[in-house]
Amino acid sequence: MSDNYRRLAPVYTTLSRLFFWGAREQAIRWAMDRKFEGKIIVIGGGDGIALSSLLHNREGEFWETSQSMLHLAKHHLRQSKLSFHLGQFEGNVKAEVVFLPFILDTLPDSDLEELLIKIKKSVLENGEIRVVDFYPTGSVFHRLVLNLLIKFHQIFTSHRRSDLPDYDRILTDFGFVCVAKKCWWKGFICAKIYRFSDLEP
């Protein structure tokens, strides 16, 4: 498996904090501040820095496709009780929360839907999918920023998308509904909580 983030891993979080003034970390913290008792599955958690104080003693799984990022995550999340896995999420465990921090925007729709099939089998009936990602806003400025981000990641990480997924439509198609959200950068960065739609009144 190629390590597309090998060159960026040591500086990725620093670059992100400088560029977004910490908004990404604030979104992650908001999503993880919701209490839950069971296990968590983190998919695409990167270097784990933003999660280090949020997953203390937490049980579950941490999945990452970059060996360099996973190595850093093991260090930053050493106080957790997570098991760490290199590669694509396999979907062999059940958890109360599946956390997707800035991962869905990197996947072509076909891969995204394949991942959601596994996630739907893994999240408990009363559980949640917590998504933190970039969302389209219609703003010209945000479009320029998005194009810059995409070009940067295409050069350095072999990024495979040229746009953002229609998260809400895709998750709705899989039977989920957004029950809570908070946005930063005037809607460009959002944290959203999804649950099975048949649990809603």
What count of other Cβ atoms lies within 10 Å of the Cβ of residue 154? Answer: 13
- Beta 95-101 vs 81-86: how paired, if at all? unpaired
pTM for the model: 0.92
Residue 156's pLDDT is 79
| Structural domains present in the chain | 12-199 (3.40.50.150)
Contact 124, 94 (CB under 8 A): yes
More confident residue, 200 or 34: 34
The b/e string for 37-64 (b: 16+ C-beta within 10 A; e otherwise) is: eebbbbbbbbbbbbbbebbeebebbbbb
What would the pLDDT profile of 7-65 be if each residue is shown by its tens digit? 777 787 888 888 889 999 999 999 999 889 899 999 999 999 999 999 999 999 999 99
pLDDT tens digits for 69-96? 999 999 999 999 999 999 999 998 999 9
| Position 161 confidence tier, pLDDT thresholds 50, 70, 90 | confident
As a whole number of angstroms, the distance between CA 50 and CA 129 comes to 18
The helix/strand/coil state of 67 is helix
Per-residue confidence at 197, pLDDT binned at 50, 70, 90? confident
Give the SS3 label for residue 82.
strand
Mean pLDDT, residues 180-192: 97
Number of neighbouring beta carbons within 10 Å of residue 109: 12
